[in-house]
Amino acid sequence: WGDLGHRTVGYLAQHYFTDAASQLVQAILQPTDTFDISDGAVWPDKVRRRREYTAGWHFIDAEDTPPQYCSVDYSRDCPGRKGCVISAIINQTALLSDTSQDTTTRNEALKYLLHFLGDVHQPLHTEAIDRGGNQIKVCFDGSCRKNLNLHEVWDTEIPNKINGLKREPKVDEEKETAKNWADEMFQSGGKISICDFTASSTQDCALQYAKETNVYVYSYVLKDGVDGLEGQDLGGEYYDGAAPIVKAQILAAGQRLGA
Ligand code: DCM
Ligand code: DCM
Ligand code: DCM
Ligand code: ZN
Ligand code: ZN
């Protein structure tokens, strides 16, 4: 997701925290007036280029065959050295839970988790084809600007349009929009199924979420194949079908992150 999506997932998760969880997040994140939970959630994107070894942690390149057969396979799709969003969730959960780790390690582990629970719910972050849709050129609401692609439409254009947010907003406006969207979903979004992580491993839970997310690649995102999307304007009918999926996935990410 873009910043709006990640910030909303952070604010939404906060609504589900127990008092103990709020205190723990306060202690580990140490938020300030200018650095709140939503800034923690976008932080991994801010350091992504400086920390090249983290670039592969944001997605899992499922080598499946849309729109015919969907699947996510941990041993097939998560390269050992480079890692993927599933291994990143496993590793950062372990670091966050380990009280013998230093404060910086646990602070960063929390920020990575705030972010990756979001990314694992973006359909194109669970799909390899054309680098998760980054190489599929499309248009949106009359704009066919250079480099606009299917991935960015799902990360940013659709969430922005749902909320009437323009491109490249000021941070304060973006945070306000994210807070309002989170409040709205908390009030009327309904209840999402949550993996029982006391009974299942982090890997099984993260993989379950990735598989659920990957199903949308088939049922909607690429249902007409790549050729049916290339060069098309996705701001109309495609947007109308995509918006409820984006809302459902942001809601699921927020509730699951909160849990
Ligand atoms: N920062 C962070 N975690 C915090 C507080 C700040 O990652 N708990 C980030 C935000 C800025 C940088 O560190 O990019 C410097 O923040 P500050 O000026 O608050 O030290
Ligand atoms: N940062 C921070 N707290 C950390 C790690 C990093 O405040 N635990 C800040 C410092 C930089 C930015 O985040 O502004 C990126 O850090 P780095 O250069 O280490 O990737
Ligand atoms: N991305 C992805 N799958 C890939 C490569 C990238 O989901 N195989 C994501 C990560 C960013 C976005 O696409 O959210 C843009 O990546 P980049 O800046 O590496 O082009
Ligand atoms: Zn993305
Ligand atoms: Zn990301």
61 lines ligand 3 (CB under 6 A): yes
As a dihedral over the C-alpha atoms of residue 59, residue 237, residue 156, residue 1, rounded to 10 degrees, the angle is: -30
Under the banding of pLDDT at 50, 70 and 90, the label for residue 179 is very high
Residue 73, pLDDT score: 98
Report the pLDDT averaged over residues 161-172: 97
Under the banding of pLDDT at 50, 70 and 90, the label for residue 19 is very high
Residues 6 or more apart in contact with residue 210 via CB below 8 angstroms: 60, 62, 72, 85, 86, 120, 126
Ligand 1 centre from 107 Cα, in Å?
A: 11
End-to-end Cα, the chain, rounded Å: 20
Told to judge if 15 belongs to the known catalytic residues of this protein, a careful annotator would answer no
Q: Which ligand is nearest to the CA of 60?
A: 3
Ligand 1 centre from 23 Cα, in Å?
A: 19
Under the banding of pLDDT at 50, 70 and 90, the label for residue 182 is very high
- Give the integer Cα–Cα distance in Å for 253 and 177: 17
- Prediction pTM value: 0.92
ipTM of the complex: 0.85
Residue 238, pLDDT score: 98
Residue 16, pLDDT score: 98
Told to judge if 119 belongs to the known catalytic residues of this protein, a careful annotator would answer yes
Residue 247, pLDDT score: 98
pLDDT in tens, 126-155: 999 999 999 999 999 999 999 999 999 999
Q: Peptide bond before 67: cis, by omega within 30 degrees of 0?
A: yes
Best residue for ligand 2 mutational test, from 30, 39, 47, 54 (most atoms within 8 Å of Cβ): 47
Is the Cβ–Cβ distance between 206 and 32 less than 8 Å?
A: no
Is the Cβ–Cβ distance between 242 and 150 less than 8 Å?
A: no
Indicate left, alpha or beta for 141 from its phi (over 0: left) and psi (-120 to 50: alpha): left
Under the banding of pLDDT at 50, 70 and 90, the label for residue 62 is very high
Residue 10, pLDDT score: 98
- Give the integer Cα–Cα distance in Å for 31 and 130: 38
Q: Which ligand is nearest to the CA of 40?
A: 1
**Ion ligand 4: residues, CB < 5 A:** 155
Residue 149, pLDDT score: 98
| Mean pLDDT score of the chain | 97
CA angle 81, 53, 150 (to 5 degrees): 95
Pick the catalytic residue from 39, 64, 77, 155.
155
**Helix (H, G, I), strand (E, B), or coil: what is residue 233?**
strand
- Give the integer Cα–Cα distance in Å for 137 and 226: 10
Report the pLDDT averaged over residues 44-59: 98
Residue 13, pLDDT score: 98
User: For the purposes of burial, counting CB atoms within 10 Å of the CB of 36, is it exposed (0-12), middle (13-18) or buried (19 or more)?
Assistant: middle
- Give the integer Cα–Cα distance in Å for 9 and 2: 11
The number of the ligand 3 atom at minimal distance from the alpha carbon of 128 is: 8
Residue 135, pLDDT score: 98
Residue in 129, 154, 143 with CA at minimum distance from that of residue 226: 129
Residue 193, pLDDT score: 97
Residue 102, pLDDT score: 98
Ligand 3 centre from 98 Cα, in Å?
A: 30
Distance of CA 61 to the CA centre of its chain: 14
pLDDT in tens, 77-127: 999 999 999 999 999 999 999 999 999 999 999 999 999 999 999 999 999
